[in-house]
């Protein structure tokens, strides 16, 4: 009986392929530090892989993905810097960031060069998971 299941699994894999998305590893762009600010045009996000702007958080994320030179991964972000507290709920609710990502608040966007190393040395005790848990 076990052989039947194994043969069936192999046959289904041959017909439909593996249930994983293929990526060209040379085009993967993992984000380490993400910054978000509210501007006159809406929301601006800055990372080491590029920038995005849009009327909303979702539009800015899509703009960054569209303009990037590869496949952008938000769930690899180690830190997020919010320059406006009004973005907190939108960012947390988006589900793009991993729960362990550290959250920082700042007055303005910074240059992404060396920012990850600086924030790694100055860890935040606040995470995306903490913000999710604190929501009513």
**pLDDT mean over 69-86:** 92
This prediction's pTM: 0.78
**pLDDT mean over 55-81:** 93
User: Which residues, in sequence order, are CB contacts of 12 under 8 Å at separation 6+?
Assistant: none
Query: Is the pLDDT confidence value at 85 over 80?
Result: yes
- Cβ burial of 12 (10 Å; 0-12, 13-18, 19+) is exposed
- Residue 134: per-residue pLDDT: 86
Residue 131: DSSP 8-state: H
For the stretch 2-48, pLDDT in tens is: 777 777 677 666 666 666 566 566 678 999 999 999 999 999 999 99
């Amino acid at each position: 009986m076990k052989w039947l299941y194994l043969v069936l699994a192999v046959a289904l894999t041959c017909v439909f392929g593996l249930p994983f998305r293929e990526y060209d590893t040379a085009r993967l762009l993992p984000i380490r530090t993400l910054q978000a600010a509210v501007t006159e045009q809406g929301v601006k996000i800055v990372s080491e892989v590029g920038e995005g702007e849009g009327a909303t958080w979702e539009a800015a994320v899509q703009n960054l993905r569209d303009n990037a030179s590869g496949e952008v991964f938000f769930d690899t972000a180690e830190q997020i810097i919010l320059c406006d507290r009004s973005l907190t709920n939108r960012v947390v609710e988006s589900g793009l960031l991993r729960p362990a990502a550290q959250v920082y608040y700042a007055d303005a966007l910074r240059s992404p060069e060396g920012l990850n190393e600086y924030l790694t040395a100055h860890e935040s005790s606040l995470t995306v998971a903490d913000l999710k848990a604190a929501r009513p």
